[in-house]
Amino acid sequence: MSAHEQSRGPAVPPNGEKPRWLDYQGNVNRIVYGLYAVCVLLAGVDLIYHRHAILSFEAWPGFYAWYGFLVCAGFVLAAKAMRKVLMRDEDYYD
Amino acid sequence: MIEGLSPALILILGALLVPFLQSGARKIYMLSLPVLGLIQLFSLEQVDHGVFQVIGYTITTLRVDALSIIFGTIFHIATFLVIVYALHVRDTMQHVAALIYAGAAIGAVFAGDMITLFLYWELTAIASVFLIWARRTESAYRAGMRYLLIQVGSGLILLAGMIFYARETGSVEFTKMSLDSLATWLIFIAFGIKCAFPLLHNWLHDAYPQATVTGTVALSAFTTKLAVYALARGFPGEEILIPIGAVMAAFPIFYAVIENDLRRVLTYNLNNQLGFMVVGIGIGTEMAINGTAAHAFSSVLYKALLFMSMGAVLLRAGTVKASELGGLYKFMPWTMVFCLVGAASISAFPLFIGFISKALILKAAAAEGYWVVWLVLIFASVGVFHNSGFKVPYFTFFGRDSGIRCKEAPWNMLLAMGLTAALCIGIGVYPQLLYDMLPYQVDYAPYTTGHVLTQLQLLAFATLAFTLLMRSGLYPSELRSVNLDSDWVYRRLFPGIIVRMDSIVRRIFHSAVDVRRRRVARLIDTVYRHHGPQGVLARTWPTGSTVLWVALLLGVTLFLYYL
């Protein structure tokens, strides 16, 4: 991904096909900035809107936001570490 | 329609005629079977049909009530969708196997006694293995054998449990049981194997990705949901199911992150969704059982949709390995859209079916104060969003350009995916369609500001997490690999022990035989000296040595054979 990020132009597909909207790194960045904006907005709403909660910690401001962020980052990195123990060649069982 | 006729028989007996029909007629005939079955199902009164006595036990071949109707309905819908998806397939064996398999699953759902349940239970195992073998590769054959052994084994454990149960209670009625005897434990374990409980789960990840393009779609719908039904019928409110379900929901998430075969990623998520249902059964309140039934219904749809889209990719691109795919949105745009609908549904995005079904289980867990389990289930929701919602579509349709140039899926596959996607969105938008079918009255409104907001927060910030990991290069890259799981025990450890024992036994055997052979040779030498042609005792009767030789050889053979 880093190689693409350096160039603002489209990653030209082979065979001289016409580049699509998503082939431009600038457009990919736009989607990511859009995501940041959505996150800020959703977290902001939590400060204003009083949610009804069944469990006590559910009512903490931004609970769903930080829980979602932390567990997602957590299990992806944990699974990456698990590879050291669990990963074998594709033809291991053959 | 016909009074008391099981819809299962329409599919099973109907399947037997399929080989005699050709092209167009066969397609129309096959499509009509689940439609007729569903009409028959809705025409049945909600009572026990087909009740008779065998050696003092009451057999109920067709029990129609709210719980069996919802599972029976979704199985019919799934059968129809699977047939549409497989219309282009010319392999008669697959069509017959899929129809018998679906019919057997439906028969099992309507079984009112355990003898009927057992017969259909085994029939699902035997019919479904042909969907794996139909791939016609060496590895599919071996995976099919392992699958068959485990599935039939589950049936035998069920049989043993049933026999003990009948002796204890004098009845074979399939109804709510409690885990207080060997009999009920055996039945529970039999259900647990088919439901892919932790450590009993690996047949699922081993076999399903090996089945044919269309076979995996059929497999994803029936076997495990039948097991969920059986648990909901037999063990509602059994508390041990809560921790079992929580582990099931969380454990496969990690494996799915690092799995390269995308159809296997989907089986890990299938396993994880079963965990939600098992938790619901364990909680056992009306809301929880409703949640389990609703989630089983919706997961049949979105899992089928996801497996359909990956099946289309396998058919067209020739692989579903994440390390080899990418950029297919340009060539399979419709498949991509349908895959995203499945992804949004399993991730429980508002307006998609998963949102309105999973919430019932989460609400039930919170209402009963199971906060740890609730946290695990929210974690599992984020996990399934990452795996099926992000990883599967991203690495297939987006990401880098893999260089693969392929055609869009055949029209019938697109039609099947379109119909399934329409159901996922339709029921997501009008949840009452599903809620009205549930076994108990539903007192729940999924579309509250709080629920929509919190779900969007959860999904947006999970997206933020893996976007940041991606852009920082910390995200684990897709590698051609396999990851060790519990199947290692029976695919490596046991065979390893047996091979080693084999070599030890062989060595002992050979040395023992060597010793005896030398002794026998000495004996023969001695005997030959006396009885042989030159021998003192045989000079007048040389055939004697031959007879002796034969007798000795026979004796040694017999001895060795006995060993």
The 10s digit of each residue's pLDDT in A39-81 is 999 998 888 888 878 888 888 888 999 999 999 999 999 988 8
Work out whether the CA dihedral A51, A54, A60, A62 comes out positive or negative: negative
* Domain final residue pick, B235, B250, B278: B235
On whether both B461 and B528 belong to a single domain, the answer is no
On whether both A31 and A63 belong to a single domain, the answer is no
Residue B60: strand pairing partners: B51
Please indicate whether, in this complex, the C-beta atoms of A89 and B481 are within 8 angstroms of each other.
yes
pLDDT of residue A90: 82
Which single residue is written with the structure tokens 């049981």?
Answer: B177
Q: Does B137 touch chain A (CB under 8 A)?
A: no
On whether both B231 and B248 belong to a single domain, the answer is no
Question: Which residues of chain B fall below pLDDT 70?
Answer: 532-548, 558-559, 561-563
Nearest CA in chain A to B385: A72
The answer to whether residues B117 and B174 touch, using CB atoms and an 8 Å cutoff, is yes
Q: In angstroms, rounded to a whole number, what is the distance separating the alpha carbons of residues B164 and B94? A: 37
State the count of interchain CB pairs (< 8 A) between A and B: 159
Mutate to test the interface with B, among A51, A56, A64 (most CBs of B within 10 A): A64
Please indicate whether, in this complex, the C-beta atoms of B482 and A83 are within 8 angstroms of each other.
no
Instruction: Tell me how close the Cα of B209 comes to any Cα of chain A, in angstroms.
Output: 14
B448: which chain A residues are within 8 Å (Cβ-Cβ)?
Answer: 52
Structural domain boundaries, residue A57: 53-94
Nearest CA in chain B to A75: B254
On whether both B327 and B427 belong to a single domain, the answer is yes
The answer to whether residues B325 and B404 touch, using CB atoms and an 8 Å cutoff, is yes
Please indicate whether, in this complex, the C-beta atoms of A1 and B473 are within 8 angstroms of each other.
yes
B462: which chain A residues are within 8 Å (Cβ-Cβ)?
Answer: 68-69, 71-72
| Mean pLDDT computed over every residue of chain A | 82
Say how many domains are in chain A: 2
pLDDT of residue A4: 44
The answer to whether residues B478 and A80 touch, using CB atoms and an 8 Å cutoff, is no
On whether both B175 and B107 belong to a single domain, the answer is yes
pLDDT of residue B543: 61
On whether both B398 and B260 belong to a single domain, the answer is yes
On whether both B186 and B273 belong to a single domain, the answer is no
B258: which chain A residues are within 8 Å (Cβ-Cβ)?
Answer: 79-80, 82-83, 86-87
Structure-model confidence comparison of residues B352 and A23, the more confident one: B352
Quick one: which of B34, B47, B68, B35 has its CA closest to B3?
B47
* Domain final residue pick, B461, B485, B509: B485
Residue B316's contacts (CB-CB under 8 Å, 6 or more residues apart) are B331, B332, B406, B407, B408, B409
B98-141 confidence digits (pLDDT tens): 999 999 999 999 999 999 999 999 999 999 999 999 999 999 99
On whether both B89 and B169 belong to a single domain, the answer is yes
Please indicate whether, in this complex, the C-beta atoms of A35 and B463 are within 8 angstroms of each other.
yes
Radius of gyration of chain A (CA): 21
Q: Does B372 touch chain A (CB under 8 A)?
A: no
Structural domain boundaries, residue B303: 236-485
Nearest CA in chain A to B321: A90
B270-294 confidence digits (pLDDT tens): 999 999 999 999 999 999 999 999 9
Residue B113 DSSP symbol: B
Residue B214's contacts (CB-CB under 8 Å, 6 or more residues apart) are B82, B85, B86, B89, B94, B98, B131, B311
Say how many domains are in chain B: 3
Instruction: Tell me how close the Cα of A64 comes to any Cα of chain B, in angstroms.
Output: 5
Nearest CA in chain B to A4: B400
On whether both B477 and B528 belong to a single domain, the answer is no
On whether both A43 and A82 belong to a single domain, the answer is no
On whether both A73 and A60 belong to a single domain, the answer is yes
Q: Give me the helices (H) in B321-367, please.
A: 333-346, 353-367
Mutate to test the interface with B, among A60, A72, A84 (most CBs of B within 10 A): A72
Please indicate whether, in this complex, the C-beta atoms of B482 and A54 are within 8 angstroms of each other.
no
pLDDT of residue B541: 53
pLDDT for residue A12 is more than 90: no
On whether both A44 and A16 belong to a single domain, the answer is yes
* Domain final residue pick, B485, B511, B534: B485
Q: Does B207 touch chain A (CB under 8 A)?
A: no
Q: In angstroms, rounded to a whole number, what is the distance separating the alpha carbons of residues B236 and B228? A: 10
B405: which chain A residues are within 8 Å (Cβ-Cβ)?
Answer: 15
Q: Does B254 touch chain A (CB under 8 A)?
A: yes
Quick one: which of B44, B459, B218, B383 has its CA closest to A74?
B383
